[in-house]
């Protein structure tokens, strides 16, 4: 959960070039796809993942 959370919350510098901004957006999209895939797996999710999902959905 920690690496996914860090990836989603990562902010680029105000003076970042377009390539850095695009790379950051791609990382966020990839992390969101991974989270969606993990959420679809059947079974009881851990409490930490469940609270993380609630936070991600609200944002």
pLDDT at position 40, please? 85
Say yes or no to pLDDT of 59 above 70: no
Q: What is the pLDDT of residues 7-57, one digit of tens each?
A: 988 899 999 999 999 999 999 999 999 988 888 887 888 888 888 888 887
- DSSP string covering 16-31: --HHHHHHHHHHHHHH
Can you point out the beta strands (E) in 1-59?
A: none
pLDDT at position 38, please? 87
- Asked whether the whole model's pTM tops 0.85, one would answer no
pLDDT at position 30, please? 95
């Amino acid at each position: 959960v920690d690496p996914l959370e860090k990836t989603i919350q990562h902010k680029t510098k105000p003076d970042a070039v377009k390539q850095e901004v695009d790379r950051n957006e791609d990382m966020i999209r990839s992390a969101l796809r991974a989270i969606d895939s993990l959420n679809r797996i059947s079974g009881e999710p851990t409490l930490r993942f469940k609270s993380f999902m609630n936070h991600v959905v609200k944002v």
